[in-house]
């Protein structure tokens, strides 16, 4: 018989994280994000930063102020002292995007050892969109005929049912090895993995995958992870929002144009003089609009 889990610990804990551990957050139609473990909290980040001064040095900043300084000046190693582990279930095509972040430890369900589940992603009708004309890798927000959306969903389900039936025949009736039979399955099939990452690299993941330009499906997973992160390390999350997510970075040309505008020059001539054009000009114009509110 297994011993009961300990009721006390000597490790640092986060009350916010403790409340959420083990809870599955539903994502898409069949997926989820489940935080299963973490190490460290806001205090551990500042303690890691202060060790540089030696053990006898008095604290010269409050925790929030030091955390904000670290984030503002991109002193990243103290944030690496915190880690989090998630269990996640997502369509394979989302996992293939996700795994491009090569700074985590990952262990994925293997279809060599286990039978593929009959679980496939079909987007909600309102999330079915046409290809964007000005973005080669994204959807267009333009409304489309509901009948087209319904037909797309029907075709997806029909393909999934057909390929899964083929897979079952290969791996069952014909006795083909699972590692080969799986090759017929589409990337809409759901997979699962355990994903462990330190806080610095998690924040980098979130900065990219929470962006409005990120694909909707992976953005929903990022939103669930961001919600846990805010509960786990609220001070670090606040600094991240202030200095990364909701901040604007300016290029050398943009700084030159902004300086001319602040000096009284009209926007068009300032941008032209600074050498801004094409997409870079459009991006700078969007930044000015965001600043003006």
Q: By the 8 A CB rule, do 257 and 274 touch?
A: yes
Q: pLDDT tens digits for 218-277?
A: 999 999 999 999 999 999 999 999 999 999 999 999 999 999 999 999 999 999 999 999
pLDDT of residue 132: 76
Q: pLDDT tens digits for 186-231?
A: 999 999 999 999 999 999 999 999 998 899 999 999 999 999 999 9
Q: pLDDT tens digits for 159-189?
A: 999 999 999 999 999 999 999 999 999 999 9
pLDDT of residue 149: 94
> Do 117 and 256 share a domain, yes or no?
no
> Do 116 and 22 share a domain, yes or no?
yes
pLDDT of residue 55: 53
Look at residue 56 and tell me whether its pLDDT is greater than 80: no
pLDDT of residue 1: 43
Question: What does residue 220 show for φ and ψ, rounded to 5 degrees?
Answer: -65, -40
How far is C-alpha 46 from the chain's CA centre? 24
Question: What does residue 226 show for φ and ψ, rounded to 5 degrees?
Answer: -65, -35
Task: Indicate if 72 belongs to the active site.
Answer: no
Q: Which residues contact 125 (CB under 8 A, 6 or more apart)?
A: 146, 149, 150, 153
Q: Residue 230: inside a domain, yes or no?
A: yes
Q: What are the tokens at 167?
A: 């897979």
pLDDT classification of 9: cutoffs 50, 70, 90? confident
pLDDT of residue 266: 93
Q: By the 8 A CB rule, do 219 and 209 touch?
A: yes
Pairing of strands 105-108, 190-198: antiparallel
Q: Residue 153: inside a domain, yes or no?
A: no
Q: Residue 7: inside a domain, yes or no?
A: no
> Do 94 and 63 share a domain, yes or no?
yes
32: which strand partners? 26, 89
pLDDT classification of 58: cutoffs 50, 70, 90? very low
Greater pLDDT, 131 or 203: 203
Q: Residue 139: inside a domain, yes or no?
A: no
Cβ burial of 116 (10 Å; 0-12, 13-18, 19+) is buried
Q: Between the CA atoms of 41, 46, 47 and 52, what dihedral angle is there, to the nearest 10 degrees?
A: 150
> Do 102 and 26 share a domain, yes or no?
yes
Look at residue 84 and tell me whether its pLDDT is greater than 80: yes
**Mean pLDDT, rounded, of the chain:** 92
> Do 241 and 256 share a domain, yes or no?
no
pLDDT classification of 57: cutoffs 50, 70, 90? very low
Look at residue 72 and tell me whether its pLDDT is greater than 50: yes
Q: Residue 41: inside a domain, yes or no?
A: yes
> Do 201 and 282 share a domain, yes or no?
no
Q: By the 8 A CB rule, do 193 and 108 touch?
A: yes
Name the catalytic one among 50, 68, 149, 209: 209
Q: By the 8 A CB rule, do 214 and 208 touch?
A: yes
> Do 227 and 82 share a domain, yes or no?
yes
> Do 239 and 257 share a domain, yes or no?
no
Look at residue 136 and tell me whether its pLDDT is greater than 90: no
Q: Residue 10: inside a domain, yes or no?
A: no
pLDDT classification of 288: cutoffs 50, 70, 90? very high
pLDDT of residue 5: 60
Residue for token pair 């610990």: 9
Greater pLDDT, 1 or 97: 97
> Do 194 and 111 share a domain, yes or no?
yes
> Do 47 and 66 share a domain, yes or no?
yes
For residue 273, what are the domain limits?
Answer: 252-292
> Do 54 and 75 share a domain, yes or no?
yes
Q: Residue 171: inside a domain, yes or no?
A: no
> Do 193 and 287 share a domain, yes or no?
no
Q: Between the CA atoms of 89, 93, 95 and 96, what dihedral angle is there, to the nearest 10 degrees?
A: 170
Q: By the 8 A CB rule, do 35 and 194 touch?
A: no
Which of residues 245, 269, 284 is at a domain's end? 245
Q: What is the tally of structural domains in the chain?
A: 2
Q: Residue 209: inside a domain, yes or no?
A: yes
Residue for token pair 């409005």: 212
Q: What is the CATH number of the domain that holds 216?
A: 3.30.1360.170
Provide mean pLDDT across the span 124-138. 81
- The structure's pTM equals 0.90
């Amino acid at each position: 018989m297994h011993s009961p889990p300990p009721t006390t610990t000597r490790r640092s804990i986060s009350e916010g994280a403790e409340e959420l551990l083990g809870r599955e957050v539903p994502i898409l139609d069949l997926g989820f994000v489940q935080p299963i473990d973490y190490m460290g909290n806001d205090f551990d980040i500042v303690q890691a930063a202060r060790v540089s001064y030696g053990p006898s040095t008095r604290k010269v900043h409050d925790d929030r102020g030091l955390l904000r300084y670290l984030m503002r000046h991109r002193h990243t190693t103290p944030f690496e002292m915190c880690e989090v582990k998630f269990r996640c279930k997502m369509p394979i095509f989302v996992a293939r995007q996700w795994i491009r972040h090569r700074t985590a430890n990952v262990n994925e369900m293997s279809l060599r050892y286990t039978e593929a589940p009959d679980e496939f992603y079909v987007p909600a009708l309102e999330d079915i969109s046409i290809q964007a004309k000005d973005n080669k890798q994204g959807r267009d927000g333009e409304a489309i005929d509901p009948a087209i959306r319904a037909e797309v969903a029907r075709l997806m389900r029909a393909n999934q049912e057909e390929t899964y039936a083929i897979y079952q025949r290969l791996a069952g009736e014909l006795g083909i090895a699972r590692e080969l039979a799986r090759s017929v399955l589409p990337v809409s099939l759901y997979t699962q993995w355990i994903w462990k990452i330190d806080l610095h690299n998690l924040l980098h993941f979130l900065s990219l995958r929470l962006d409005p330009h990120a694909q909707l499906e992976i953005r929903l997973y990022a939103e669930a992870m961001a919600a846990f992160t805010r509960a786990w390390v609220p001070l670090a999350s606040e600094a991240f929002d202030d200095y990364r997510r909701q901040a604007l970075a300016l290029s050398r040309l943009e700084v030159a144009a902004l300086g001319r505008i602040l000096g009284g020059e009209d926007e068009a001539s300032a941008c032209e003089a600074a050498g801004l054009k094409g997409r870079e000009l459009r991006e700078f114009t969007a930044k000015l609009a965001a600043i003006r509110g």
